Structure 1
């Protein structure tokens, strides 16, 4: 009897995964195969939106015909006359990126490795370079009479009037050849010849005179600067053209790069893919230099006197305090504090060319300094220091210099900081050091830009709700914040060159991205330009997931998306989804980048599951404390948020506590493993996709910020890595991984597999995908993976008859 019921259940499962049936009410019935097809069945949303330089057209990538690739389209500024751009017009378009002169009548840009100067009024481009080498990073000099650009690691300037190109730097690999070494015997013989023989004296004198004449007749050349085997980057010319600043990058030779074997190849042989180093391996070292052309000298800018440069992170201070105390007891000397390695960005020059600031970040990412730079001496004056015992990041801050610029008065610099707990806009006076916050509140600001007339700011903020993004306008010195967009969801805005019109890419939770145009006015109505969705996609009534909050065990508010069946079963099953990327937001009101998972959650809800999609600790959109809530313990608050979410499902939505599953990919796969290993009584089944199993084997850039390094903070890695907890597995576990994953390597799950075998666990399975990287591409792979996930939940979360 049991086998018969199981066969019936399996037949139902195969039916649901296979064809696309029509429901009794006429609504399309979803299936895994339908959802996981090539996404073109949904329709292709417009992307990469940009304005023509004259502001008459909006360009964007689009694919309404369902071709293999997107094409470039254009539409007039009023939203009319949408058309596909011809190949000739596309080739003649200037790059959307580049540098404008102050009047914004000219633009310089790089395209296909060459430099172009574009006249906006006439719409014509002049090609500056046409070489097989690649030129890049073009910009106008301060007088706007030259175009400065980089080629082969050196700086060049092209004079617009004369057409002459001048090389400004001469960086050379290796070391300058040493002069012939001195030898006492040879020196004595030479001196004897000069003393005894007039002809020798005359010829040596002629030789020296010819040398001086050649040097006098030769054109001025930049100083030869030998950089050994270091790389040169961030080359910047000062407005008066006296100073050239640059960075030297010393890339470690000892760093070991991990290899990923590729088994399915055209050659028939296994081929190795070089990927990345592992966290804690040797890292590049950076030095910041000033080349003074007037003095023909170059010198390094020192951070030795900067406040906080010797401050070690708190976790190391505790460690070193114990070590110092032990040395004092034994009579040894305490360790002398060292200057922390840093990387410097800039300089950023005021519009009048008289002042410069730089941004420096410690390579442990605990500090960011904004400092005034005196290029003649290298003196640094601190303007702002942001320190975080976890790590510095956030909108407008990131992992580099962050957004920064000068105010019109040439005395104030604007920047973003999480000083208040949320990323906001600030200014600081470079002379007095006085700082002012222009925005404040429990919301985040991003994509800041100043209006062309220097009277307002434009930026995106989630002020209305953490899950909504709107464009705002703010007076330059702060004041009333004016919301310009009103469509609920997310609004990605590109201002027209005259700033009178907005091109808006908008989406809602159950409506993919479309292009709109609207006037740059409060309350203006947006006009939809594109209609991208297929009739097949529109034939299903896609759910609008409810964005809810619940209380975590520590009292924090946790946001989540909730999907419910039309007729929820009493004590029914539930699935908790864990988004990936760590610092990412998914419990929002716009079309998710996890669109396949969104559709799968609709499918699960149709099958009677309640689905909860949580923005756990570590997610974006909620400020610094949520962002850094996982510091030194991944699998701590981020996992307990999911446990609290499961409890919330039981208490409020009548879910059976013994019928809750969990799944996710990448970071979501990691949390799934931690959940199945450390909270086995909460989650009955889990699917861990492309998951990190041991953080000591992940990359440096991401992992070291959160867990420091394995050799300095081994406890954090042991606490945070699922492989150490595998003995706790009770429920059913599915592990799925691409074999050519160059992000989270297949080695991760191979090591975990061996661990599970040695522990004698038999309630798990491993599904491998030979041709897939971290982000799956092939519809067949997506389909196979999600069939297995659905089968896992059906067999372990549904009640047996």
Structure 2
């Protein structure tokens, strides 16, 4: 009996050790492996019978290779290289799909599906890439900066282009002549009659040798006119399907920008080492020009961007700067654009090309006349804020020789369209207050497979739709997030699925409406499962502008007597965190659960500029970051006071990156609403962030200083009243440590109290070390405990 009691106590201690029990910062912020490791990297076998993936259910040092058959649905460990042997080859096909081509190890291989024979076409030290079939079944590939064409009938390889790095030499055979060279040449001509004679006749006569003139060029030898790249960078080499036209792009790289430097203090050498950084917004952009090489005429001409409709149109924001508007109107210059690479239809009769304005206001889809470089408009998307939205400007491709498909926010939401170049008919295939997030055309080009949030902004499903439009048919059924990888034969789906309180797992389902999705993996640990993670209330409220704003609310079962509340602000700005799937902010999700356990009501808002809600929501912060995105937080607090009984005097907020920025703006611009805040890795002055992100929203500092001063916390530093803790990694190459240092200096100069700065010497923008995560969230929790529960 005693022996059984000891065994019972031993088993009970093991079970207790696996219980998470009370949440603490230290438990939450450990190496995430304690939660269990979700499967990733889904790949189908070529026969569509097996899914290969990476997984680590035993919490080992690194993930292992797994596979699951659609017939058994039982995952099993496999060899690391088994997937590579079984995966579907990513063939590029000829017109009738009798031949396939692929690249491996930097060489090009050909496969004949009738004879089942594979042929290696290249075997070189250099890498061959970008191989594809021309209309006549000949093959083109790129090696270095040049294109080569292979005839499958004669096995002949010919060079199509002759791009040469560097400048065109003044004298091909040598350097420029010296004074001595010129004197000798003149003296020779004056001395010898034979030189005078040969100069007149064009040179020395050729002697015959063996029936052929010695030194003459082979009559069959083709010379290719060299194109010297000078200091430019070559890209975008594309050959038309008939092999006649070669398009390419030359870029003048900017070498005068002031790139930043991030000092790294904790190094193996013991010395401070500099990390090269990015340029800041407003620095010069690379300028590109696109060209067409006519191989038959051996002539080169530019793509005529001056013909683009609206190329001279100026943005509306210039009305705030009358002098600048007057100057730019007077200059009447073409705006700078970035051209894409031409996309040819299958028979090579039509090419389309995109053009993006560098001021971010326009996206054009153009028809390219390759014989002249002329362009004509097919579709124009103009946005006085900035062009964006899921799929917009990307993934444009042909359905047949007359129709191509693309996405546009013309209705206010990103939807799918087709355009017929023969009839000039534009057709909208999807509609409604939801977004098409991803599009894939079936192999037989009869069906679109679409991922979108039609059911609810926070639910993604997989759909199918005929290429001519019609009924949108839903295929997945599980409420939450459904990320689909389709099998090569398009009969099966590998679904990466999660719910609010359930991390991602692999499911397999037949590609049919109503088919059941079978769960393949179970990844979470016993310790993670022992806690009852909340499914927060997913609510919506009207902001002060009458717009619907969605939020997650974590009510406390036992609110503290002070009825405190905390607002979590997600990062990235254009990101969605209010949804029914597992949050990428999983640490913050767990921290919000811990706050609710400790008597706080927590809200997490998809504020204006978050993704998933259409164009107006996306661009609502144009020229005013810290405007609607901040007042949405304030309106969310008002909703908590009215519906969840929160005390408006005891509200704090926290967030990282863009969330850190909003936290600063909340403390500085809304001091009567927010009593305390934790700002992690936050932007304090947008003039010091990067160009690609910031110029979309705020234009450029020297063109639109009003927007930058309106949107940057450093200009509101004098307004600080509440309690603030700032936390920043010192080797952050995204939002530089300089940002928080500059704001710190302003607080010092202004004599501000109730703020502190915590620095993390070894951390980049995304923290890695559990000790750093633990330290920063202990400080944030302490801030809330000592200020909101007074």
Distance in 1 separating the partners of 2:33 and 2:513: 35
Query: For residues 301 and 192 of structure 1, do their structure 2 counterparts lie closer, same or farther at Cα, with a shift above 3 Å needed?
Result: farther
* Partner of residue 289 from structure 1, selected from 288, 291, 312: 291
Structure 1 partner of 2:5: none
Distance 1:24 1:231, change over 3 A: closer
Name the structure 2 match of 1:711. Answer: 702
Match of 1:5 in 2: none
Per-residue CA distance 1:6-35 (angstroms, 9 max, x = gap): xxxxxxxxxxxxxx9999997722111111
- The answer for the alignment partner of 2:735 in structure 1 is 744
| Structure 2 contact 93–100 (Cα < 8 Å) conserved | yes
**Is this contact kept in 2: 1:576–1:612, CA < 8 A?**
yes
Decide whether aligned partners of structure 1 residues 455 and 730 sit closer, same or farther in structure 2, where only a CA change above 3 A counts. Answer: same
Establish whether residue 505 from structure 1 lines up as the match of residue 500 from structure 2.
no
Cα deviation, 1:756-781, whole Å, max 9, x if unaligned, reads 11111121111111111110111111
Structure 2 CA distance for partners of 1:540 and 1:132, relative to 1, 3 Å = farther
639-648 or 160-169, which moves further after superposition? 160-169
Match of 2:461 among 470, 474, 482: 470
Q: CA deviation at 1:59?
A: 1.6
| 2:564 matched residue in structure 1 | 573
Residue 420 (str. 1) matches residue 415 (str. 2): no
The reply on whether 1:448 has 2:439 as its aligned counterpart is yes
Residue 228 (structure 2) aligns with: 226
1:173 alignment partner in structure 2: 165
Q: Which residue of 1 aligns with 2:376?
A: 381
1:304 is paired with a residue of what secondary structure?
helix
Residue 357 (structure 1) aligned to one of 352, 361, 380: 352
Q: Tell me the alpha carbon deviations over residues 35-59 of structure 1, each in whole angstroms, 9 at most, x when there is no partner.
A: 1111111111111212122212112
Q: Is the 8 A contact 2:408 2:416 kept in 1?
A: yes
Aligned residue number for residue 74 of structure 1: 67
> Please, which moves more after superposition, 627-636 or 111-120?
111-120
**Aligned counterparts of 1:101 and 1:73: Cα–Cα separation in 2:** 34
Deviation at 1:378, TM superposition (A): 0.9
When residues 185 and 520 of structure 1 are mapped into structure 2, their CA distance, relative to the original with a 3 A threshold, is: same
Q: 1:317 to 1:159 in 2, by over 3 A?
A: farther
**In 2, Cα distance between the equivalents of 1:602 and 1:633?**
32
What is the alpha-carbon distance in structure 1 between the residues aligned to residue 233 and residue 785 of structure 2?
A: 56
> Does the CA contact (< 8 Å) of 1:579 and 1:586 recur in 2?
yes
- Offset at residue 140 of structure 1 (A): 3.5
Deviations 1:50-69 (A, max 9, x none): 21222121122222222222
Q: Which moved more, 1:57-66 or 1:31-40?
A: 57-66
Deviations 1:492-548 (Å, cap 9, x if unpaired)? 112211211111111111111111111111111101111111111111111111111
- Cα gap change, 1:155 to 1:684, in 2 (>3 Å): same
Q: 1:379 to 1:563 in 2, by over 3 A?
A: same
Q: Quick check: 466-475 or 427-436, which moved more?
A: 427-436
Deviations 1:86-117 (A, max 9, x none): 13424546687664455667654445544455
Contact kept in structure 2, 1:54 and 1:121, CA below 8 Å: no
User: Would you say 1:406 and 2:398 are equivalent positions?
Assistant: yes
Q: Single out whichever of 782-791 and 173-182 deviates more from structure 2.
A: 173-182
The 1:143/1:769 distance shift into structure 2, 3 A limit, reads: farther
Q: 1:22 to 1:629 in 2, by over 3 A?
A: farther
Task: Verify the 8 A CA contact 2:558 2:597 in the aligned structure 1.
Answer: no
Q: Is the 8 A contact 1:587 1:613 kept in 2?
A: yes
* Equivalent runs, 1:591-670 vs 2, <5 Å: 591-670=582-661
Residue by residue, what CA displacement relative to the aligned partner does 1:439-465 show, whole Å, maximum 9, x if unpaired? 110000022112222222110010000
**Which ranges of structure 1 fall in alignment gaps of 5 or more residues?**
1-19, 328-332
Shift of 1:476: 1.4
Contact 1:349 1:355 in 2 (8 A): yes
Which residue of the partner structure matches residue 330 of structure 2?
335
Shift of 1:393: 0.8
Q: Distance in 1 between matches of 2:597 and 2:771?
A: 23
Aligned to 2:303: 301
Moved more, 605-614 or 567-576: 567-576
Pairing 1:777–2:768 present: yes
Inter-partner Cα distance in structure 1 for 2:253 and 2:325: 31
User: Does structure 1 retain, via aligned residues, the 8 Å contact 2:88–2:488?
Assistant: no
- Within 2, Cα distance between the matches of 1:265 and 1:96? 44
User: Which piece of structure 1 moves more, 387-396 or 296-305?
Assistant: 296-305
Residue matched to 2:481? 490
Whole-angstrom CA distance in 2 between matches of 1:211 and 1:627: 73
Matched, 1:678 2:669: yes
Distance 1:761 1:752 in 2: 11
Structure 1's 21 and 755: CA in aligned 2 closer, same or farther, altered over 3 A?
Answer: farther
Normalising by the residue count of structure 2, what TM-score does the alignment of the two structures yield? 0.91
In the alignment, the residues of structure 2 paired with residue 223 and residue 215 of structure 1 have an alpha-carbon distance, to the nearest angstrom, of 16
1:64 aligns with 2:60: no
CA separation of 1:485 and 1:197: change in aligned 2, threshold 3 A: closer
Give me the whole-angstrom Cα distance separating, in 2, the residues matched to 1:536 and 1:208. Answer: 92
Whether the aligned pair in 2 keeps the contact of 1:553 and 1:644 (CA below 8 Å) is yes
1:79 and 1:529 in contact (8 A); partners too? no
Q: 1:197 to 1:111 in 2, by over 3 A?
A: closer
Are the counterparts in 1 of residues 539 and 550 from structure 2 also a CA contact under 8 Å? yes
Equivalent of residue 259 in structure 2, options 250, 257, 260:
257
- How far off is 1:599 after superposition? 0.8
- The CA deviation string for residues 705-764 of structure 1, in whole angstroms up to 9 with x for no partner, is 000000000010000000010111111101001111000001111111111111111211
**CA 1:665 to 1:131, structure 2 compared with 1: closer, same or farther past 3 Å?**
farther
Q: Report the counterpart of residue 537 of structure 1 in structure 2.
A: 528
The corresponding residue for 1:239 is 241
- Listed as ranges, the gaps of 5+ residues in structure 2 are 1-12
- For 1:693-708, list aligned pairs within 5 A: 693-708=684-699
Distance 1:474 1:33, change over 3 A: same
Q: How much does 1:211 deviate?
A: 10
* Structure 1 range deviating more: 193-202 or 640-649: 193-202
Q: In the alignment, which residue of structure 2 is the partner of 1:14?
A: none
Distance 1:414 1:256 in 2: 41
Which stretch has the larger CA shift, 353-362 or 414-423? 353-362
Note the aligned Cα RMSD (angstroms). Answer: 2.9
State whether structure 2 residue 493 is matched by structure 1 residue 525: no
CA distance in 1, matches of 2:654, 2:676: 8
SS in structure 2 at match of 1:469 = strand
State the distance in 2 between where 1:50 and 1:123 align: 24
2:46 matched to 1:44? no
Moved more, 277-286 or 298-307: 298-307
Distance in 2 (CA, whole Å) between partners of 1:100 and 1:279 is 43
Any idea what the Cα deviations from partners look like across 1:561-592, whole Å, max 9, x if unmatched? 11111233465111101101111000011011
Maintained 8 Å contact 2:463/2:474: yes
* Residue 783 (structure 1) shift: 0.9
Answer whether contact 2:555 2:644 (CA < 8 A) is retained.
no
CA distance in 1: counterparts of 2:101 and 2:528, whole angstroms: 43
Give distance in 2, aligned partners of 1:447 and 1:545. Answer: 27
Distance in 2, matches of 1:254 and 1:544, equals 52
Q: Provide closer, same or farther for how the CA distance between residues 669 and 162 of structure 1 changes in structure 2, counting only shifts above 3 A.
A: farther
Q: For 2:376 and 2:43, how far apart are their aligned partners in 1? A: 39
**Cα displacement (A) at 1:323:** 5.6
* 2:18–2:527 Cα contact (<8 Å) kept: no
3-state SS of the aligned residue for 1:672? helix
1:155 lines up with 2:170 in the alignment: no
Moved more, 301-310 or 137-146: 137-146
Q: How does 1:388-403 map to 2 (within 5 A)?
A: 388-397=383-392, 401-403=393-395
Give the length in aligned residue pairs: 768
Q: Compared with structure 1, are the counterparts of its residues 494 and 756 closer, same or farther at alpha carbon in structure 2 (3 Å cutoff)?
A: same
